[in-house]
Amino acid sequence: MEIKKWSYPDFPEYQTDLPDVKCIDSTGDEVRVLYHPNVEYADYGGQKLTLQVLEPSTRNHPDDLTYPIFVYVQGSAWMKQNVYRDLPQMAKIAALGYVVAVVEYRGSDVASSRSRFLMPKTPYAS
């Protein structure tokens, strides 16, 4: 197969009679989910804690809409979490119109028992 370097004006026009091609109409209001990985919110003596943020967006309104937030603090018996494990399920919630923040907290091997209860408040406390 020959690879051609088309310029935009030279690119061939779409042909509706292509076999096995189905055209899907789009309004621009279809929701997509943008992923913002490893957003740092705290540094405790070199241990950086991050958020995994999933944000709904549409082509027609990429930046001008505001959404409620869904904060997900994953259970892990106070051990180090795998903050990436539930992202596919959290993306479904984001697609419903919520910003989702998956919070990483310090595990019991590095933080006192009291700090485990305070940590999840840190990323969104004012």
119 CB contacts (<8 Å, ≥6 apart)?
49, 105, 106, 111
| CA 117 – CA 100 distance, rounded (Å) | 20
Nearest to 53 by CA among 101, 93, 122: 101
Q: What is the pLDDT of residues 5-51, one digit of tens each?
A: 888 888 887 766 778 878 888 899 999 999 999 999 999 888 899 99
Give Cα separations from 33 to 21, 59, 60, 88 (angstroms): 26, 11, 14, 11
Where is pLDDT greater, at 78 or 85? Answer: 85
